[in-house]
Structure 1
Amino acid sequence: MKDAINALKTSPEGLFVLGYMLFPLFALIFAGLGLFMVLTGSKIMGLVLLLVFTQIFAFGSLKLVGIRKALLAEEGENPVK
């Protein structure tokens, strides 16, 4: 399992899936769930979802995209700008 995760973190395709698809989707899901919880009365947990988990996935996505661009530049391919 650790080998598969390490391979995912070092391949441009795996970083593409994580950085451009999964992490933004998780950020959107947590933002929607947090907003729903705030509107229905569970304000503390809703704010935690909005301010903590949404930000973790949003900034994690940006970090993974940056790692992917650096990896592609290191391999000599043209990264998407």
Structure 2
Amino acid sequence: MMNEQRRIEILLRRHWRSTIDQDILLSDTYEIEESIISYTVDDDGKDYLIDCDITTKSYHYTMQVKIDMETLDMYECIYGH
């Protein structure tokens, strides 16, 4: 499960970075292989605060991410059930 979470983290990071480079980051639903990720984006002026609801064929969990708006570094990732 941990490897799957890391893989999704990496793929989401690439997706979000690409989206930010082309436009602005908005709430959306994103499908990666056999996973469906619904996420909401809040902007607090310094960070993007992203709440994700992730469903794979094996399990369902949540993840909260913080991305620095200047550097685009993801510096916090908290998993829930």
* TM-score (ref. length: structure 2): 0.37
Q: Which has the higher contact order (CA 8 A, sep 6+)?
A: 1
- Report the structure, 1 or 2, having the larger strand content: 2
Q: Which has the higher helix share?
A: 1
Greater radius of gyration (CA) = 1
